[in-house]
Amino acid sequence: MSNNRGLFLTFEGIEGAGKSSNLDYAKAIIEASGKKVTVSREPGGTEVGEKIRAVLLDPNLPAMHADTELLLMFASRAEHYQNKILPALNAGNWVLCDRFTDASFAYQGGGRNIDVNRIAALEAWALGNFKADKTFLFDLPVSVGLSRAKARSEADRIEQEESDFFERIRNSYLMRAIVEPNRFCVIDASQTMEGVRGQVERAVEELILKRIE
């Protein structure tokens, strides 16, 4: 990895965990250190990807096969990786992404019970060995996340699932964090907004310092 290349940071967790609010907060800290930041999200992040996102989240569509959902996620991701993430990183920008591949393992793997080996095959096919440099996992009890999300907006197609579905997702995320402790930074997202921001700030400052050394 050349030193001018930016870092790729992903923000993961169940609905209402605080991904989007803290991504904005991290962006401000990184920009204040003089780096350029590209913000993006999945599914979506590109013009094509946002159209795929609209299909994935449409609450009026009939039930979609889990494989279809997974393939649409990776179709959006391939476009995103090739046409937005890689060019931005190569231009020296830091890229902050609201959900990435870990979400496919957690939602389509843990949530929808797709065999993780099939997901790993798609990951290798679409991304090769590419992974986030750091993944912030916002972890909190499902009931707290869902009540935060509900207070904010109407449920989309995926948010309408039962709480068991989100328990499986939370557990999948936590298992992934155990397997890759260097890539993951687990944030206790049940704390107050200030408490969570403090954790994010410390972790982001550490990344900035490492990049300067």
Ligand X SMILES: Nc1ncnc2c1ncn2[C@@H]1O[C@H](COP(=O)(O)OP(=O)(O)OP(=O)(O)O)[C@@H](O)[C@H]1O
Chain positions contacting ligand X, by CB under 6 A: 13, 15-21, 148-149, 152, 191-193, 196
* The two three-digit tokens of residue 58, written as one number: 């449409």
2 binds, options Mg ion, ligand X, none, Cβ within 5 to 8 A by partner type: none
In the chain, the largest separation of any two C-alpha atoms, in whole Å, equals 52
Q: How far is the CB of 33 from Mg ion (least distance, A)?
A: 24
192 binds, options Mg ion, ligand X, none, Cβ within 5 to 8 A by partner type: ligand X
Triad 187, 53, 177: Cα angle to 5° = 25
What's the rounded Cα separation, in Å, for the pair 48 and 141? 34
Q: How far is the CB of 25 from ligand X (least distance, A)?
A: 10
Residues 6+ apart with CB under 8 A from 203: 134, 136, 185, 187
Q: How many residues bind Mg ion (CB under 5 A)?
A: 2
17 binds, options ligand X, Mg ion, none, Cβ within 5 to 8 A by partner type: ligand X
Is residue 21 at the binding interface for Mg ion, with CB under 5 A as the rule? no
15 binds, options Mg ion, ligand X, none, Cβ within 5 to 8 A by partner type: ligand X
Q: Which of 9, 12, 13, 20 binds Mg ion (CB under 5 A)?
A: 20
Cβ distance to ligand X smaller for residue 6 or 16: 16
